[in-house]
Structure formats: structure tokens, C-alpha cells
């Protein structure tokens, strides 16, 4: 995959950073995207570039804004000549029962978690079709297949990603372009660590006990997945061995959705 180019949204931390790092290790040039302090992002960008010998740029697109997404794709095409891989990873969460769910939070969660994938895919597809190669990978969740209380917007958006992926896969089945959804369960990211710490403080237990409690509720393997495992799956889907894997949802959830 050397000299391929990928856009990975939400790649300045967590799962997105793990995906970007795995792609860079495979020789893929990168357009990073996400929020953070400018100096830290530049340190991250230059570090990946130096460590893996690939070209890395950053775009601060706000994924709630379609015009920002189009500008990010245009910037990547200008910098690298082509976008071969789009990983729609960025996501946000808000928790509330439906009757008290703020409408602006619903709109934001749907915009970032679902609509951004549509706008990004729409922007990269013409170039991929012209080049007869493309990989679009949407990062879903166990919540793309099952639900939990108080997560209506997140669950709706992640379910929608699977449907969107299937349509893109069908429309491009003879064009050298695949589209799939990767569905992680619990992944130990800084965001999940905050949930663990909050649970430990709330229940007066250790962080280790809080971790085990979180896993016991959903993930039978009783282990967290890692960002690198998600990244390795993405790398595989981008390779020639996965050319006929399209329109599918691949779970990395320790048995969560098997129950």
C-alpha cells in the first residue's frame, strides 16, 4: 500500500490515531483530522512522518459542516494527488432518555457520526471511480447492531452507518471500490478511561474493579479491544486480499453482539 493516501477523521487521539498509525506503518500517506492543541497536533503529525517515512498533513475540518469536509478532501487531493482510502472514524456521544434529549445534541451526534460519512464519501468517490480503486471504511460500534438505553442518537447514527456502507458498496461493486463498517465493542481509549474513572469515583471502587464491571455488562471476553487491533483490521480491508469484502459489518467486540 505504499504511496496510497488516506484521510482518517478523528485521528488526533483514540481509535482514529491507532488507525492512522497502522496505515502509516503500512506506507500510507495521511491526512489527519481532529481537535486538539495546535502544538500537540503538529508534534503528532511530524512524529508519524518521521517514524514511518510517509507524508502527513493535517486539516482542522469541523465535521458538522459539509463545506469543511469538502475542503478537507480537496486539500488532500491537492497535496497527494489522490485519496485512495477514507476512514470515517470521528464520533461524539451524548447520553439522555429520548424525552429529555436536547435537539441540538441529537443534530450534532447525527451530523458527526453519520452525515459526515455521507459527505466525505460523496466527495472522495468521483476520484476513486476515476482511478478504479478506493476503500471507504466506516467505524461503527457494537451499537451499530444492538442498542443501549439513553443513547438514541448514537445508536441511530451507528445503525445508519451500516446501511450507508451497504449502499455505497452496491453502487461501486464493479468499480474497484469497497465500503465496509468496522464495529468495535469496548476499546480502551482516553474517553473510555474517563468513564472508568467516573464509575470508580461514583461507586467508591478501584479503577480495575470499575473496568471489570464495565466489561462484565457487555463484553464476554472480559478484555478491552485496542486501537491497534482496529487499525490492523482497517489495513487488511485496504489490501488486495480484501477486494471482495464489501458491504459487510465486521465486529471486534469480544462477543458483545453474539449474546
- How far lies 215's CA from each of 159, 188, 209, 210, in Å? 22, 11, 10, 9
Round to whole Å and give the CA distance between 156 and 163: 11
- Nearby residues of 48 by Cβ (< 8 Å), 6 or more positions away: 20, 21, 24, 30, 32, 54, 56
- Classify 176 in phi/psi space as left (phi over 0), alpha (psi -120 to 50) or beta: left
Cell numbers placing 227: 486501537
- How far lies 28's CA from each of 11, 19, 48, 157, in Å? 14, 11, 11, 28
Catalytic, 154? Answer yes
SS3 of 243, please? coil
Round to whole Å and give the CA distance between 140 and 90: 10
Question: What stretches of the chain show up as alpha helix (H) in DSSP?
Answer: 14-25, 38-52, 66-80, 103-110, 116-131, 152-171, 190-203, 207-218, 227-238
SS3 of 136, please? strand
- How far lies 9's CA from each of 47, 90, 93, 102, in Å? 18, 5, 16, 25
Q: Is the CB of residue 188 less than 8 Å from the CB of residue 14?
A: no
Catalytic hit among 52, 94, 154, 236: 154
Active site (catalytic) residues: 154
Amino acid at each position: 500500500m505504499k504511496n496510497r493516501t488516506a484521510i482518517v477523521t478523528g485521528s488526533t487521539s483514540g481509535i482514529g490515531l491507532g488507525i492512522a498509525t497502522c496505515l502509516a506503518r503500512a506506507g500510507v500517506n495521511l491526512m489527519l483530522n481532529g481537535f486538539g492543541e495546535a502544538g500537540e497536533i503538529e508534534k503528532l503529525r511530524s512524529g508519524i512522518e518521521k517514524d514511518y517515512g510517509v507524508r502527513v498533513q493535517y486539516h482542522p475540518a469541523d465535521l458538522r459542516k459539509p463545506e469543511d469536509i469538502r475542503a478537507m478532501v480537496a486539500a488532500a487531493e491537492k497535496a497527494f494527488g489522490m485519496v485512495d482510502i477514507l476512514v470515517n472514524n470521528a464520533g461524539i456521544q451524548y447520553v439522555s432518555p429520548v424525552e429529555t434529549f436536547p435537539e441540538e445534541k441529537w443534530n450534532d451526534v447525527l451530523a458527526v457520526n453519520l452525515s459526515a460519512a455521507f459527505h466525505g464519501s460523496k466527495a472522495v468517490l468521483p476520484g476513486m471511480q476515476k482511478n478504479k480503486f478506493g476503500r471507504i471504511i466506516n467505524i461503527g460500534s457494537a451499537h451499530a447492531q444492538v442498542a443501549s438505553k439513553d443513547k438514541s442518537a448514537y445508536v441511530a447514527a451507528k445503525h445508519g452507518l451500516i446501511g450507508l456502507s451497504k449502499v455505497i458498496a452496491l453502487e461501486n461493486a464493479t468499480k474497484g471500490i469497497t465500503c465496509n463498517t468496522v464495529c468495535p465493542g469496548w476499546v480502551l481509549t482516553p474517553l473510555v478511561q474517563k468513564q472508568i474513572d467516573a464509575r470508580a469515583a461514583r461507586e467508591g471502587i478501584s479503577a480495575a474493579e470499575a473496568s471489570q464491571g464495565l466489561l462484565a455488562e457487555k463484553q464476554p471476553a472480559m478484555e478491552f479491544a485496542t486501537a491497534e487491533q482496529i487499525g490492523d483490521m482497517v489495513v487488511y480491508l485496504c489490501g488486495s486480499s480484501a477486494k471482495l469484502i464489501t458491504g459487510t459489518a465486521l465486529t471486534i467486540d469480544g462477543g458483545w453482539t453474539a449474546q
